[in-house]
């Protein structure tokens, strides 16, 4: 059964585009049915419409509380029979109420190798710490910020002369490949939640490594 996915964004939506493009493949086990932004000016909304996907803005500033904003969000998702949510640069913290309602059915992509560098400014903090590898993580969303069970990670080297921008660009390229892969694993049942951990079937290769410096 093809799952109906909603992508939640706040900005330019480059991860959203990579999910939309991946879902065009005939064998992709999910359909991108809706894009929602909490910011009416998010560039990703137009990009979604250009791809013929319904794109809605639900402006959090128009609501008096976090809860009432999330109730509107939840109602829009349910009206459209959404099965699964992908957060892609969605920059509003979600309350435990919303997260519990979508428990096990909501993924996020985060620009660091979790559990390192939760929160914001991940690339700057990686550079400050002097780590030699960095990357991105797709994980299930739980009430604690950036703390849910990990579905997939990609690693990049940090190289001399890197700035926040060069490192962010290197990580972003990996994000675009990783998120569709992780969504596919889940929708095909090859990655599933069991007892708060992700269990995999036929998804492994124990070969290869990334050493930095090489
Ligand atoms: C991405 O790098 C994503 O990992 C990050 O925001 C960027 C959104 O870019 N997400 C977070 O920091 C979530 N805490 P995009 O709008 O081009 O996909």
Q: Whose CA is nearest to atom 3 of ligand 1?
A: 89
Residue that wins the pLDDT comparison between 103 and 209: 103
For residues 62 and 79, the answer to whether their CB atoms sit within 8 Å is no
Give yes or no for residue 75 having a pLDDT over 90: yes
For residues 211 and 133, the answer to whether their CB atoms sit within 8 Å is no
171: exposed, middle or buried (Cβ count in 10 Å: 0-12, 13-18, 19+):
buried
How far is the centre of ligand 1, averaged over its atoms, from the C-alpha of 108 (Å)?
9
pLDDT at residue number 169: 98
- CA 70 vs. chain centroid, Å, equals 18
Within 8 A by CB and 6+ apart from 168, the residues are 111, 123
| Band of residue 206 on the pLDDT scale cut at 50, 70, 90 | confident
**Which residue from 15, 45, 167 has its CB within 8 A of the most atoms of ligand 1, so it is best to mutate?**
15
pLDDT at residue number 29: 96
pLDDT at residue number 202: 85
For 2-61, the pLDDT digits (tens) are: 899 999 999 999 999 999 999 999 999 999 999 999 999 999 999 999 999 999 999 999
Within 8 A by CB and 6+ apart from 179, the residues are 15, 18, 19, 86, 88, 107, 109, 138
């Amino acid at each position: 059964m093809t799952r109906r996915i909603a992508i939640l964004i706040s900005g330019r939506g480059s991860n959203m585009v990579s999910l939309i493009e991946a879902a065009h493949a005939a064998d992709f086990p999910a359909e991108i049915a809706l894009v929602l932004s909490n910011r009416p000016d998010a560039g990703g909304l137009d990009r979604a419409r250009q791809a013929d996907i319904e794109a809605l803005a639900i402006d959090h500033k128009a609501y008096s509380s976090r809860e009432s904003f999330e109730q509107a969000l939840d109602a829009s998702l349910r009206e459209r029979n959404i099965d699964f949510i992908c957060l892609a640069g969605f920059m509003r913290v979600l309350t435990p109420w919303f997260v519990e309602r979508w428990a096990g059915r909501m993924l996020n992509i985060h620009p660091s190798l979790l559990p390192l560098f939760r929160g914001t400014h991940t690339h700057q903090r990686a550079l400050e710490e002097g780590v030699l590898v960095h990357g991105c993580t797709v994980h299930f969303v739980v009430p604690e910020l950036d703390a849910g069970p990990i579905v997939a990670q990609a690693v990049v080297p940090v190289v001399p002369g890197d700035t926040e921008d060069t490192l962010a660009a290197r990580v972003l390229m990996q994000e675009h490949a990783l998120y569709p892969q992780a969504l596919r694993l889940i929708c095909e049942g090859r990655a599933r939640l069991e007892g708060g951990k992700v269990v995999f079937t036929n998804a492994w290769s124990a070969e290869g490594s990334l050493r930095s410096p090489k």
